[in-house]
Structure 1
Amino acid sequence: MNRPPQPPAKQVPNSTQALVGQLLSHRKFFEKENSQVKHLDNTSISSNSTVFLRLCDDMEYIIDSACTKIMIEECKNLKLTVNDKILTSIIEVWKSDNVNLSLNSQVQTIQIDHCKNINLNYSNPNHFYSAVWTTTSQFSLKIFEDGQEKYTFNNEKDNSSEEEKEEKENDSLKDELKQNIIRLIDNQLVTEELVRAENWFPITRREWGDWKTKANANAEKLRQSKEAETKNNDEATN
């Protein structure tokens, strides 16, 4: 049976995995802060730090120094501006409400879980690769180029009645594990649902379908090749 290639993570050398694990183990916590504007630079965070914002309300953080990763948990009314490199190129946000991210450096992956009113603003299309979200309402994405808005996405404008909101909440329970991904494909923002392909890493239905089509075509070519080889061998022995 044809199987998909193994996830790239399994092909990473052990030394590289150990280095990534070591980097992520250094966490710099900013917890239960409120009603401030904070500039984080190399005097407050190091490049091997994972910046962890937790239980912060009405805060604004401006990151002007490199870090390993950024994690945001249970924050409300948070503004975050990233002006320097994130070594893993990853930001994770969960259980948060009204979070605005202004991203002026490359952030290839943003993971958003169980959130509401999340706004991403990229200053350059080259800084964006993908955003993945689950159980999140009012998620918007804007990508700018030369100061002008070029790509926009909004997953929900919540102008529903209370009854409609209750129905949506009931529906969301059914979609608890549903994940969506948005990427730039052929200069367009494309949103797709992620699925698990035979206990494999997450992949979109389109990509999984494309892979199965190619796998079936390759299997058919192999079958025809073996059939022709058997026929030639039979003719040679007669």
Structure 2
Amino acid sequence: MSSLRYSDSEIAAIYRVIAERRDMRHFKPDAVDPIILAKLLAAAHHAPSVGLMQPWRFIRITDANLRQHIYDLVQEERLNTAQALGEREDEFMRLKVEGIMQCAEVLVVALCDQRQDYIFGRRTLPEMDLASVSCAIQNLWLAARAEGLGLGWVSMFEPESLAKLLQMPADAKPVAILCLGHVDAFYQAPMLVETGWSKEKPLSELVSENTWKRD
């Protein structure tokens, strides 16, 4: 057994928070403690990043009118997504897909500008900057769950419109709207499973050895 191993209780807590993390859509308006918010952002900032480029940028939305505009952009894309789903349009429109107007905090996460200057680890895989930002979001997500706070990742928006609204540089790109706040309870299973929208695949179908797994 490794001498660097955490205690059994610490390990159990890590696995528990991973298993109980949920993409939340239902929130209470109670304020998030500023000290906790700072801790969550610090957790995000501890994420690994390709070439140590730290491509994540966080914009905290505190202006009510700006939050409303962001909500409107999401609703516009919600309708476009519904239409693209064809026969599942009505079913999709019954789903709650965001909590922007109900949650305590809205954070927009973006890829930084001037990303072309970062070559280390990205020459053949330029999308590793997005992978790094995703790691930062996951850090924040897990830390929020450990603090008893819900977080929901909203991806239904037109990036150029949101970037313009938030006055981002031309080569920066928003990738997530995060809804953060207190909740009455966490979903027992992913919401899309609970609502019957989709089913989770078992891990056994997603792991292979040496070569790609064929059906």
TM-score norm. by structure 2 comes to 0.23
Larger Rg: 1
TM-score norm. by structure 1 comes to 0.21
Q: Which has the higher contact order (CA 8 A, sep 6+)?
A: 2
Greater helix share, structure number: 2
Greater strand share, structure number: 1
